[in-house]
Each structure stands twice: as C-alpha cells, then as structure tokens.
Structure 1
C-alpha cells in the first residue's frame, strides 16, 4: 500500500472514531435537539428553577420548559394557549424538558406558563409574540 492510501485510510478511521465518540459523549443533548421546537426562538422567560422558551414558525407557536439542573428527574410543566382556543399542556416528571407543545396561533396573542419543581413562570395575561 502506498503512503497516500495509508494516510487517507488513517484519516477516515480517525473521523469515524471521533464521530462515534461524539454520539456516545452527549446522547441527551443530541436527543434534546432532535425533539425540541422548530422555528426561530422569539422569547425566553427565565424563572428561579428553569426557563420557558417560545418559538414561532409559519403561524405556529411552540414552547418548552427547560430546567436549570438537567438530568435530575423532577416535575416539569409547559402550558401554551392561543387566544380563543383550548390550551395545550405537557406535565410530568422529566429529566431534560417538558414539551414541546404547539398551537396554531396565527396572529393571536398567547398565554404561556412553565414549572420546574416549585419554581413557576406565568405570563399573567395574553402576550403578543
């Protein structure tokens, strides 16, 4: 085998091993990115134990609640309601996030709530995004 072929083989093997290690090193983050909201982040509402992030895409609004301490199984909740429509909510014990929940808001205002443990966020009214 010529030295150029050996070098290409070694480089290809190194890239394959590095990619495999990256997938093993951060499986939670890779999974979180795959199932979070689509669109652009329009608002972020921090509170004592976490953050509610709100995204918007083509008239749809999506929200997730993220804890300040991910990896610890705890009660989390995300609530989203477009004006005049029924609310959508996800609440349970999670390690990494509650949600995503999505509503078709169009140009309507929305009401957003989030909770991680005892800490809560409530928009306390309708907000325009």
Structure 2
C-alpha cells in the first residue's frame, strides 16, 4: 500500500475533490469509501472545525487508497479546476456557504451540475480572473 501523504489543512481543493467523488458512483462502490465520503460531506455541511475536517479527509483518503485508488482524495486528477478555460466561458461554481474551487463548464440549455457536498445545483456564472 502506498503511504498516504499528509493532506493540507482542509481547504477548498479538498471540498472540490469530495464533491467530484460524491458524484462518481463507481468510486463510491469501493469498500468503505461511501461511508467516509458521506461523513466528510455531513461534517462540511454542518460547518465543522478545520481539525475535525482534516481528520475526516485523511480517513477518506486512506479508505480510497486501501480500496485501490492510488489518487487518494486530494489529487489533481479529481477535477478541482478546469484548465484551459478562458474568461468569457460560462461556468457552474459551488453554491454553498462552504465554497470549494470546483468549476464545471455550464451549458446554456442544460441545468447546472449537482453539487454533492451542498445538496443543490451549482450556480452559473462567468469565469472571473480570480478563478
């Protein structure tokens, strides 16, 4: 088994990775992953403190790695950002009070994607220079 790296303090990237993970039925079928992911989601929704979230994210990262996902939770391949997007493109962003950096391309005629962390649809907007 690969040693799990220390995750940074709970930040927006981990919340974005959690959101992408919760939207992936294949990943949630792995043993122990669904329970750990749902616990992290519940803590994030309830506004838990940073230490408690960090502990939960580490447990989820460990569950993913033990289930055979070498990426763990907080990796670039989980889709925390959308490289190559230019500022005039419409995007869907996190709608919650605990905002993550997940960005999805928003299609005009389709509803915004679902945010699994906050349990609502993402909000549509234009990509800003800070994103």
Larger Cα-atom Rg? 1
Q: Which has the higher helix share?
A: 2
Report the TM-score when normalising by structure 1.
0.21
User: Given the two structures, how large is their TM-score scaled by the length of structure 2?
Assistant: 0.21
Larger relative strand fraction: 1
Question: RCO greater where, 1 or 2, for CA within 8 Å and sep 6 or more?
Answer: 2
